[in-house]
C-alpha cells in the first residue's frame, strides 16, 4: 500500500472513532401506547430513563399491557439507534469501496 493510502485510512479510522463516540453520547427516544411509555437510551444502548403515564394504566389489571408497552417503547428506541448507527457508520464503509484493494 502506498503512503498516501495509509494516511487516508488512518484519517478515516480517526473519523470513525470520533463518530462512534458521538453516537454513544447521543440520546435516543422511544415511545409506545401513544406516548404512555417513553424511554431514553444513549447510543451505547444503555437505558437512561423510563417514563410511564400512570393515568393510562389501571394496575394490577393492566400489568400485561404495561409490560408489552414497555417492550414496544424499548424496541422503538433500539430501531432508532440502529438506524442512526447504520447511517453514520455506513458513510465510512462506502468510502472504502472506492479504494483499490478494499472490498
CA distance 28 to 6: 35
Average pLDDT of span 78-89: 95
Instruction: Give the class (CATH, top level) of 23-90.
Output: alpha beta
Task: Report pTM.
Answer: 0.80
Cell of 53: 403515564
97 — pLDDT class (breaks 50, 70, 90): low
- What mean pLDDT, rounded, does the chain reach? 90
Q: Please provide the size of the chain in residues.
A: 103
Amino acid at each position: 500500500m502506498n503512503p498516501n493510502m495509509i494516511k487516508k485510512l488512518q484519517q478515516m479510522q480517526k473519523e470513525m472513532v470520533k463518530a462512534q463516540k458521538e453516537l454513544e453520547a447521543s440520546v435516543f427516544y422511544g415511545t409506545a401506547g401513544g406516548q404512555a411509555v417513553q424511554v431514553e437510551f444513549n447510543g451505547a444502548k444503555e437505558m437512561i430513563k423510563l417514563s410511564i403515564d400512570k393515568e393510562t394504566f389501571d394496575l394490577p389489571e393492566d400489568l400485561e399491557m404495561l409490560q408489552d408497552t414497555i417492550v414496544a417503547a424499548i424496541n422503538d428506541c433500539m430501531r432508532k439507534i440502529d438506524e442512526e448507527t447504520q447511517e453514520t457508520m455506513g458513510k465510512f464503509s462506502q468510502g472504502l469501496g472506492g479504494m483499490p484493494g478494499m472490498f
